[in-house]
Structure 1
């Protein structure tokens, strides 16, 4: 909605225009009135109306002085002056100042309505023209940006279309350099080179077009611009032919990732990247130690060895691609260890877990190391829990076997072999889990079962054999030690 204000020292004029004109029907909001030049200017400064109706003669300073001050600040303001019969010279001055219309007093409602309609038509035409110009400029900019992105992706196949979009001066281009930047930066056009900013999704690019051969000077200028803006950027090499734009593009992205990974500020070029490999494809002693601890279920040992490896990565300051390869090698070996347990890997990660995809989305060294350690920690936690579950299962399996075979001569070695463990280790594990030794557990189970048999009236000698003791005397001694009385007295008391 347009905003309008009325300035006149005649109360009747102000009151009449406020009440007799349906301003809202024209899409206009009447924001206020004033009776002198000083108050009028204060009202203008506060609300910045689009349309001003003002009398030429007003106290303090007249309408012409007011119009001159307003148009100096906001030349787009539509000013209409009211003039008397003998004020033609003032009207001429007003027209020179840039008023859009003048109305001769006495003012009538039809005169005001006619002036409003003319102004609205004028405002719409001006706005339409401005919008068309802006749209044309935006379309040209969008077309050039799209054509430049095609050039970066397709090279020679997109050169012809790009030249057509770029227009005049295209054959003066002596070289092209691509920059990949952490955020969009608007550059001023230089006399010797031009920057085309591009946003491709979350990716920010800047394509430098060189119009002379002093490329190093151009890069220094760009370095200063980027450093002052506080962003990080990577630059590919400069190529003389537009056909090689895709290569500079890939190099720029690689340089940016390297800069982010190591925490560099400003601009870094692809030539500055170190690509000396850290290791061969064989496992290092450090990596072997990590996997060994993992297979043994030693979570603390695995993570200690892992932190040593990460510290080694950080000290060497290699490009992220090399460190990625080493991290993925260790991670995939860890996942192979998980498969070796016979369990499903989806118990740790979702079915579409692709570490080589996830790691490529990380930039900073700290971010990548945190991601790697978190993923590995999840595996070590799972391996430790799985090993613990297997231990519980072994003890439970042993207890069941004892209950089913207690009636015969059942030694520790036989039970350990049944659950697939070393006898000594099984003995320690059994006591840790059950709270008593294997022989005490077996004896207790046999004695409790013997009580049940004696309560049913079975003979002591028969009971002794049924609970696994072929020596009556040995059974009696154990039963008395367990129950406080010998088996015969226990049977008779029941």
Structure 2
């Protein structure tokens, strides 16, 4: 039987979930029903359920924080999130702990049952994999003495049980450590000012391994990781203070540069007491190293720092998104104007925002690239059967390829190549047609004024019909449709940042007739301005 824990603060919903499906017939036992996140966390530690179904909004400890805490002690538990909020800000938080599903209330029985069956299928697959692993473990004993490095790495990855390597000579040294921790060195032969990365030769990696083990002495063991190129894993006897640890790791990094010409970025897990928990410290070090794309060579990435920054409140997260929206808009404006020097100068400012918000940086980076692509698609030729990003990278390419980014400089080059490539594609797609760009610039600078093709024609000295045809070819929209959409988007921005009357809002975006503005806003957004304001206010207050 698989064990299920239900966490829901509303009594009738909690009882409803317990009786919603015939759990016994599905091979599931409901081991507990908690009324808040704190109680759910306690029950999870006690019953160690295979499946957790939880609401988000709960007193004491909400579902998101509870799930994050539970994931650290029960990484294999499948978590299903229930919420009445169809909101990206809520859903994106489930990325960190890999929720199995995010279901919106009210829940349809068929959808709910299908989700549970999919969870069971995944758990059954895990059982099959576990049985296969156990059958293979008996064979590994034949070569444990010769392949200690691989076995230690497999243990850290939870691929083999500690009992099979517990009595090996090198493990006996680790057992003497009072407190242990894992650090991962990401290595490079390139100097810090270089954004390219050459793969280390086997001879160099072996030299690094020997040097590290010599420097560590009795304080640690260094092993190679064949799965990740150019990385060395350290199992350390943890120093008494973080400052002391930092000093010694930096000393090691400096010696690697001096003796072998090898630079490094280090991801560091938290200190643990028992040997069995070393895989947790390894996973934390791996998680920390995932953010090396924002680190310079010579920097240390502590998991504890990233975990603490992950507690960032919603208001701070929203401010970060606003900063990214602002800087992406400025970059887009520079690209539209053909000023790539100014656009590329903004990359450092954007990277500074990411470094300030490390735990949210991947979400913010994706958000930035989507902003740039979506904004520039407005001037992309819609007769072409692909958007800008597809034209640049192809249809199957992920939005961000972190495999190309081993340091901050790699990330900077990646973004510069991305923006330059988009600029070239825009130029090729749109040609040198200054007329369309000039009209866009006039709209951006004078949208609050009385604008029409006739007024613009007097400014650019061309016939209105000719301007309108060129504008439609380049934007896929008529001049009036584009101007109305632009004004409504500006109205949305003002609603987010100001509290003003609808009549003032209309005038601020260039529409003198309030009734026409309300009609246009509702046609575009599906809500009247007043209704949209109320939704935004309630969302901001978390209602």
Question: If the TM-score is normalised by the length of the shorter chain, which range does it land in?
Answer: 0.3 to 0.5
Larger Cα-atom Rg: 1
Where relative contact order (Cα < 8 A, 6+ residues apart) is larger, the structure is 2
TM-score (norm 2): 0.40
